[in-house]
Amino acid sequence: MYPQLFSPGVQHTLELVGIFVFAMSGALLAVRKNFDVFGMAVLAEVTALGGGLIRDVVIGAVPPVAFTDLGFFLTPLAATALVFFLHPQVERIQIAVNVFDAAGLGLFCVAGTLKAYEYGLGLTASATLGMATAVGGGVLRDMLANEVPSLLRWDRDLYAVPAVVGSAMAAVCIKLDALTPATMGLAVMVAFVLRLLAMRYHWRAPRAWHRRSTVKEVQPEEVAV
């Protein structure tokens, strides 16, 4: 068992905050897609809990925590209610939502990596599942909304890369037997700051070298994953 970054109570509270922000991004996409309130709730739940659900099923941590912690299930519903009634106001604070989303990304990629390793996976697989914990919900959300996942689009600021870096740092700390609350916090902060910088300077992954494509390039409005 590895040390926790925060006390169990603080860790749980931060996880609920991250879940709430992830859920808001799902509910907002549902509003843009003109979904009804049930569709909003589904996208909110999937966005908030999908990554952790994938991780828990893969590592055999069943039933997944999404089904054993009532707070995890109810928090996305609270986010849905907020967006249902106040979505114009929420849209206006999208920058703040994205900042909290970036913090959740950092926390979940590291926590996911550690949990996967504790269940017996190797370092590479653990880091991969850590990344999936952080970004998997957004992929499922986009698929349900009939969109190309933001993770695969060249015209979106880097999102998965910061999660990969944070997960990889946690895995390296495990390998070097240097995993402490301080190094865990550093991995979280690096992922968080990388995501903020990507949003600020619109960093994007390169496309194929000497690419030849007939696909029309469109610059869509940036949304949080």
Q: What is the DSSP letter of 222?
A: P
| Domain range list for the chain | 8-201
What is the C-alpha separation between 170 and 164, in angstroms, rounded? 10
pTM, full prediction: 0.90
pLDDT in tens, 120-176: 999 999 999 999 999 999 999 999 999 999 888 888 999 999 999 999 999 999 999
Q: Are 105 and 111 in contact (CB under 8 A)?
A: no
C-alpha 67: how far from chain center = 18
Burial (CB count <10 Å: 0-12, 13-18, 19+), residue 24:
buried
Mean pLDDT within 31-38: 96
- Which residues lie below 8 Å from residue 76, measured CB to CB, with a gap of 6+? 19, 20, 22, 23, 26, 41, 44, 45, 47, 48, 49
pLDDT in tens, 196-218: 999 999 999 888 887 776 566 55
Whether the bond into 63 is cis, omega within 30 of 0: yes
